Amino acid sequence: MIRIGCGSAFERDRIDWPVRLADSGAVDHMAFDCLAERSMALNQLRKLEDPNAGYMQRLEKPAAGFDVRLPKIVEGFAPFVASGGTMVGNFGAANPEGAGAAVVDGLRAAGVSGVKVGVITGDDVMEQVVKQDLYLPEYDRRISEMTEKIVSANAYIGAEPVVEALRQGATFVLGGRLADPSPYVGPICFRNGWELDDWEKVGLATLAGHLLECGTHVTGGNFTDPPFNPVPDMMELGFPYAEVDDGRIVVSKTPGTGGLVSTKTVRLQIGYEIGDPAAYLTPDVTADFSQVAVRQVGEDRVEVTGASGRERPETLKVLVGLDLGWKVTVEMSYGGPGCVERAQFSAELLRARVEKALGDEILEWHTDLVGMSSLFGTAISRGYPAEVRMRVAARTASKAAAQTIFDEGDYLPISGPAAGGGRGAMTLARAIGVTPALLDRSNVPLHVEVLES
């Protein structure tokens, strides 16, 4: 049986709660899913600006917000790794080699030597994508028709190179676009001695990874809905872990922490983002969760059985990064009588001013009245609000055009309409989009290199 815990569910997930799980003695392995489509695009943008960047920044330095008070990832988990614990994650994002060097340096700085660090490369398939002129279904175009916009292409890869790194003795394994459950599937199959073509067992391992990969989703974080579904002690939610052996998963959470692991929280996570429950496609398996059963077997302990699987797909999903120009947002608050009309007029005035200056340089324009129509439009009847926030989001071909919109928005509180306030949350940044494609897995050769701290 393997005991494996969740280390993160997204790039900026907090570190203190999973460190507590790692230090609790409840787990021997920790897995980290750090990437979503948005975070992968952001890391590609960082690499475009600095070829030495592009991996998860929090390996070696704190990020913004509450992270400045928390340890860096390598620093925080150094005691766990030093005691023999295994860590696997897609920390590498757009630059696995850079991430590997950062981990080695971080472990040495923490006084931890002799740890083997496995670095997985090969998910960068830019050359193959261009050579094969892949079809982009969301755009109904071939790569060759958008060559000037293509900035990156990364294949979602599975657990096979993770297992190879573990076989070579690595206890800290990282890669680029490892698919969400695969950092769990690798250690589960390796430690339990399961072959990666034993589809039923890989299906079970994939379900374990799927249950844990979203962190506190399964321990009550997205379950509580005041006044419904109360969850105890939301001040510190326990991070989840699973005990996995033949045919059985038991999900629990960090001992002595808040939150809740129940049949309801587990069922909610099982259905999250899987599409067809009888054919959840991953690089490792075509997983079948349609016959899964859940049973409460103790306080904050839920048994999950019935997962299965069939042969893995022959194609891999590829995330193609696109340079879409620049994006800018402008926000302003209005309150009291006439606030809706003033907010609407403000948005119309802003657009008229920038259209006069920019013309066809505006590629997209979107207006929301937050508190009035931003989520449901006119689908839900409502009374007149006491306050409303005008939000404009635009995409432009050039930075200069985006800056013009930003500057005009900054001028609104002075130029009218009346009583606009709460200016803030204005942003200006590169617009990097992502779109999917499919590539035969035979065109994605992967490589494992093992470093030592």
pLDDT tens digits along 80-119? 999 999 999 999 999 999 999 999 999 999 999 999 999 9
Contact 394, 327 (CB under 8 A): yes
Question: Residue 100 pairs with which residues in a beta bridge?
Answer: none
Sign for the CA dihedral angle at 289, 295, 298, 300 comes to: positive
User: Where does 103-213 show beta strands of DSSP type E?
Assistant: 116-121, 135-136, 141-142, 150-155, 172-174
Task: Tell whether the model's pLDDT for residue 46 goes beyond 70.
Answer: yes
The pLDDT score that the predictor gives to residue 70 is 66
The pLDDT score that the predictor gives to residue 65 is 59
Q: How many CB atoms lie within 10 A of CB 385?
A: 16
**pLDDT band per the 50, 70, 90 thresholds, residue 420:** confident
What is d(CA 205, CA 399) in angstroms, rounded to the nearest whole number?
Answer: 46
Average pLDDT over residues 412-424: 78
**pLDDT band per the 50, 70, 90 thresholds, residue 273:** very high
103: Cβ contacts below 8 Å, ≥ 6 apart: 59, 74, 91, 117, 172, 174, 451, 453
Task: Tell whether the model's pLDDT for residue 363 goes beyond 90.
Answer: yes
- Give kind and range of the element (H or E) at residue 353: helix 339-358
CA 167 to chain centre: 27
437: Cβ contacts below 8 Å, ≥ 6 apart: 129, 134, 135, 136, 137, 143, 153, 317, 318, 320
What is d(CA 183, CA 162) in angstroms, rounded to the nearest whole number?
Answer: 7
Burial class of residue 366 in the structure, from the number of CB atoms within 10 Å of its CB (0-12 exposed, 13-18 middle, 19+ buried)? exposed
Torsion on CA atoms 50, 153, 41, 211, rounded to nearest 10: -130
* CATH class for the region spanning 320-435: alpha beta
Average pLDDT over residues 402-409: 93
The pLDDT score that the predictor gives to residue 37 is 82
Mutual orientation of helices 16-23 and 73-82 as an angle, nearest 10°? 0
**pLDDT band per the 50, 70, 90 thresholds, residue 177:** very high
Report the range of poorest mean pLDDT among 58-62, 227-231, 240-244, 336-340: 58-62
Q: Percent of the chain, pLDDT > 70?
A: 97
**pLDDT band per the 50, 70, 90 thresholds, residue 69:** low
Task: Tell whether the model's pLDDT for residue 63 goes beyond 60.
Answer: no
- Give kind and range of the element (H or E) at residue 434: strand 427-440
The pLDDT score that the predictor gives to residue 128 is 97
Task: Tell whether the model's pLDDT for residue 68 goes beyond 70.
Answer: no
Task: Tell whether the model's pLDDT for residue 62 goes beyond 70.
Answer: no
- Would you say the pTM of this structure is higher than 0.85? yes
pLDDT tens per residue, range 422-451: 766 688 988 988 999 999 999 999 999 999
What is d(CA 57, CA 54) in angstroms, rounded to the nearest whole number?
Answer: 8
DSSP state of 176: S
Average pLDDT over residues 131-138: 97
SS3 labels along 178-201: ECCCHHHHHHHHHHHCCCCCCHHH
Quickly list DSSP for 9-78: SSTT--SHHHHHHHHTTS-SEEEE----HHHHHHHHHHHHH-TT--S-GGGTS--SGGGGGS--HHHHHH
Here the tokens at position 131 are 């050579």
Q: Would strands 135-136 and 116-121 be described as parallel, antiparallel, or unpaired?
A: unpaired
Task: Tell whether the model's pLDDT for residue 406 goes beyond 70.
Answer: yes
Contact 239, 215 (CB under 8 A): yes
Task: Tell whether the model's pLDDT for residue 301 goes beyond 90.
Answer: yes
The pLDDT score that the predictor gives to residue 339 is 93
**pLDDT band per the 50, 70, 90 thresholds, residue 66:** low
What residues does each domain of the chain span? Answer: 2-122+157-313, 320-435
Q: Taking all residues of the chain, what is their mean pLDDT, rounded to a whole number?
A: 93
